[in-house]
Structure 1
Amino acid sequence: EVGHKEAVEKMPEKEFPRRPDLPSVTLLGTGGTIASRLDYRTGAVIPAFTPGELYGAVPELADICNLTTKKLFGVFSENMAKEQYVALAKAIGDEIADGADGIVIGHGTDTMGHTAAILSFMVQDSPVPIVLVGSQRSSDRPSSDAALNLIHSVRSAAYGDIAEVQICMFGPTSDRYGLLHRGTRCSKMHSSYRSTFRTVGDIPLAMVSRDKFTYLHRDYRRRDKGRQVKIDPVYDDRTTILYYYPGMSPDLVDALVEKRYRGIVIAGTGLGHVNKPLYPALERAVQAGVHVVMTVQTLWGYAQMYVYDTGRDLLELGIVPLDNMLPETALMKLSWVLAHTDDHAEVMRMMRTSISHEITGREPHNGYLIMQGGLPEIEEFILSHWK
């Protein structure tokens, strides 16, 4: 006779010890399985979320803080949208009002950059760190980044000096340190690498390890429990990104106008360009009251539409460049701005006024470094530094 045992879909739980001398951190759950394991018999992912479950999975947390967990909702990150953004911003405000010394948000990695960006506008002047964290590989895998990401993010929320919305994930592919990325300047750059997140158009805010912080950026908002947070949880989802490609048809723009979209972010080529056949459709969109802005597909660099005739023509049509704002960040900000006003001049003033470094005056000379494998100097560097 062959028997079987029912799987118990629950992580081992131990009582989370609390100490009066440690800071208080709240972990808000959105559905990402930052600490989980796979039941190979059933195929089910068993999440750890309560303080006791997390303590059972990552006991080091008890030496860092007094941890409180609250599950707001359970969605895959691709299903994050207006409802979740608004609820998350309000929950952050509630935790700050209740005296939390820092906040960690467990989140799926696929759209973590979008959530970090919108929270940077919905939650302003935070007195404490707000740290989004996820994992590329589940906790049952030997190469998992889940536990260390959680340790780094909780340390950053509890003791870090950066009171902004930030993303905490692996720095290199090894586990030497994590990086803290500003919420408006970060993008997921690889589908599976643990070091998938990269700061774009700037350098990371800081390095974090188990025992220290190394601050890389001087310009950040510092922790100050006396500062009053501003929670502004509004969002208009009648916006979209139009990723330009050669031969794009004007009827795509016309369809957006017909469907009553209020804002279009163009990810243009080069310095911010699209083809001439789109001009009449874009002009019709602007005349219909649609707010159209320009970003660049290159991610690095600025929309400089005054350089070539193409760009100047678009400026005359009413297309407004957003300098080096990332396309995804521009989408999030435009959705937030349009929930405040539909006045075109005010929309464009707000879009071009930097709130959380979404636009920077210059990009650092040592920021744009793309290592191309196979080049002799790169191979030499890797052999000498990448232990």
Structure 2
Amino acid sequence: MVGEDITSSALELPPKKARDATEYSEGELKEIATRVISATWKGGLPQWSWGEGVYLLAQIRYHQLNEQEIPGELISWYQRQTDFTLGHINNVAPGAGAVHLDKAGLFDARTMNQALMNWLSAANSATRDVNGTVEHWPGSIWADTCYMLGTYYLNYAVVNKDVKFLEIIEDQLIAHHQTLQNPETHLMAHGSHRGETIWNYWGRGNAWMALSGVEFLDAAEVLAYKSEGISKIKSSLDKQLTALCELLPEYGIWDVLVDGQIENKGVLETSATAGIGAALVRAARHLPERNELFLKTGKKAAAAALTYVADSGVLERTSAGTVLQLIPFGYSVIRSDRMQLWGQGLALNAITSLQHEQINHLGV
């Protein structure tokens, strides 16, 4: 490529010194989680959308896995929601946490579930391509969809013991892999535009796909679900995560584009690192032949990401909400001047992966 703009790469601050996962005591992990949670509620969860959804599921799961009560402010947030702002696949994401509150008798999710299900089944809701792949925007398949839709359907399936929602995400994961996973590098592209895959290997897109894959495998295990699709998803996940392991820098943080693309080289992105690290740790159980590699690399990444949690509780070096970029340089601008809800949620994912590395995170 000619005419690359390397200004973002050249001006990037050097990485922080990484900490090993063994340096974090259980008490320190809980203290970091407390700071993250406090900062998030102080910053606010203003709407029913994907950032809130990513964060709320992560906080609920943190409390579940640590056998803690769900805080009243979280329950009250759901109870205040009267208008589930639908119209986009991103607005499905908050439903994932709600189904667990419903199961615990803390929130009546029937109205919410009906609204989400009605929208998802409507002919004029999210568009599909000719193969039935759910599009994030008309004519555009994104990695984000698998997480925003997948976590809702998968958690609903587990709570309600209904495998048909598991089967929907099984089909969607396989379809998304066919479009987004490069057959040579095995990395996931962020998305496609008008039927053409744009081969930018965005870190958080790889996190969304990897976390969706392990969420599916955990759900299938809980429901004792067997199918040919499981082996396909395991194979794609194995190849993706193995490729990511090879690309992790010594300091433990992936670039915003994980393959070292020249305009983004050294431009660190912590939320992707937290998410991929958590996915690696969780995937190790499902892919025993990679257990040692995935645990070692996943814990290294998760631990490194947590060094970017400021004293305020905000995960720094987290990119803002990112639309599909047609050129690599579009990913190089990262705002660090405000809290990002998805970063907060992925930080909690990293913490729970370090705390609970050998258990099914949906089996609580």
Fold shared, TM-score > 0.5 on shorter chain:
no
Going by fraction, where is strand more abundant, 1 or 2? 1
Structure 2 length-normalised TM: 0.29
The structure with the larger Rg is: 1
1 or 2 for the larger relative contact order (CA 8 Å, sep ≥6)?
2
